[in-house]
């Protein structure tokens, strides 16, 4: 059983690392595997400490290359919440992906509002309204990368880890 857990852990870490590498290659703005990676990690890591530590570490390392932004705190906060959604739901589904995407959108754009917009209702509405095109792209990325990670892991589990 220990060998299986070690193989599974290595596969999960590899999935996280491949996902985070996609941040480093040119891509359509906001079409990234970040939310999918957090949800995937929350769902599949047996050790729930790893579900947060490994993807957060991978994010941090990639941010060393990409640079941190003024809203990085809010991105990491949203990332942790999405991981928690995965831990609590124990599954990747359209519902959990949508909840994760919306949560990420709300938290990160709240940070943008706090840092860059007037602290008024009009400022808040302007911030979220102007962010809608970015949300569309993020949702496309979240749905795509969640499906890729989910089905790829199911394939690897069935054919190499022999768990399904």
Do residues 36 and 11 touch, judged by C-beta distance below 8 A? no
How many residues does this entry show for the chain? 164
pLDDT at 131 over 70: yes
Structure tokens at 72: 């990085």
Q: How would residue 6 be classed by pLDDT, with cut points 50, 70 and 90?
A: confident
Distance CA 77, CA 141 (A): 19
pLDDT at 163: 64
Query: Domains of the chain: which residue ranges?
Result: 2-161
pLDDT at 161: 87
pLDDT at 134 over 70: yes
Name residues whose C-beta falls within 8 Å of residue 14's C-beta, 6 or more positions apart in sequence.
none
pLDDT digits 0-9 by tens, 22-79: 999 999 999 999 999 999 999 999 999 999 999 999 999 999 999 999 999 999 999 9
Closest CA to 36 of 137, 138, 128, 112: 138
**What is the pLDDT of the chain when averaged over all its residues?**
94
pLDDT at 1: 47
pLDDT at 162 over 90: no
pLDDT digits 0-9 by tens, 13-22: 999 999 999 9
Closest CA to 43 of 3, 97, 5: 97
The percent of residues in the chain predicted with pLDDT above 90, rounded, is 92
Dihedral class, residue 19 (left if φ above 0, else alpha if ψ from -120 to 50, else beta):
alpha
pTM of the model: 0.92
Closest CA to 128 of 164, 97, 159, 102: 102
Rg (C-alpha) for the chain, rounded Å, is 16
CB 22: neighbour CB atoms within 10 A?
Answer: 18
3-state helix, strand, coil in the chain (%, to 5): 80, 0, 20
């Amino acid at each position: 059983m220990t060998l299986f857990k070690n193989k599974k852990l290595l596969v999960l870490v590899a999935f996280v690392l491949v996902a985070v590498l996609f941040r480093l290659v040119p891509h359509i703005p906001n079409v990234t595997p970040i939310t999918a990676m957090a949800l995937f990690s929350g769902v599949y890591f047996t050790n729930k400490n790893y579900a947060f530590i490994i993807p957060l570490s991978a994010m941090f390392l990639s941010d060393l290359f990409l640079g941190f932004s003024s809203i990085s705190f809010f991105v990491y906060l949203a990332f942790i919440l999405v991981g928690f959604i995965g831990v609590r739901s124990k599954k990747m589904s359209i519902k959990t992906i949508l909840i994760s995407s919306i949560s990420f959108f709300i938290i990160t754009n709240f940070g943008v509002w706090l840092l860059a917009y007037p602290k008024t209702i009009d400022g808040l509405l302007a911030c979220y309204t102007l962010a809608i095109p970015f949300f569309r792209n993020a949702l496309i990325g979240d749905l795509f990368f969640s499906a890729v990670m989910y089905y790829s892991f199911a394939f690897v589990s069935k054919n190499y880890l022999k768990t399904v």
